Amino acid sequence: MVDQSSKAWAARTLRFGEDKQIIKGFLDLIYNENPGIAFGQLQEGGSFGRWFFVVLAVAAAFAVLYYFIRTPRNDDRVLGACSLLLAGILGNLTDRVRLGYVIDFIAVHAGSYHWPTFNVADASITLGAILLAYDMVIGHRKSAQDLAFRFLCALESPL
């Protein structure tokens, strides 16, 4: 809802060149229509590309939902990461089905370097992916350490 609301605001406010500078030299709000995928790649797909990306997003949503369902209910970090991923995927999927493109409006830059324009759904996907990657790296490390500790304890205890 936050993603779709913010995109509706951007379309009403920014579409006709009323860009807003939020933090000079760092953050602007500008309207952009992205028919491609992340970072503006593959924009020449036309109708085939649109529906290909829809199918891809639906498959990704089902994969994340499956992972979410299989995750233990007490694993808040993974559940939160999956929720962020799913919300972002569905936000951009809604645009792609409804409009044929995704509305991006957040522009971050430092000096002459400009990060590709993005939206709330993209930020949600990025944060969810970072949390999931963190859990995979740190979670496996903790699991390995716990397993090694149990193994050493078993070796030291008398039979």
CB 144 within 8 A of CB 127: no
Whether 76 is catalytic: no
Helix or strand holding residue 27 (H, E): strand 27-34
Helix or strand holding residue 86 (H, E): helix 76-99
Q: Which tokens in the block code for residue 116?
A: 């590709």
Catalytic site residue from 95, 104, 135, 146: 104
Q: List C-alpha distances in Å: 153 to 40, 139, 140, 143.
A: 53, 21, 20, 15
Q: How far is CA 51 from the centre of its chain?
A: 20
- Please, what is the Cα angle at 69 between 65 and 70, to 5 degrees? 115
Whether 28 is catalytic: no
Q: How far is CA 3 from the centre of its chain?
A: 12
Catalytic site residue from 19, 95, 122, 135: 122
What's the half-sphere exposure (Cβ side, CA atoms, 13 Å) at 50?
A: 14
Q: Which residues are catalytic?
A: 104, 122
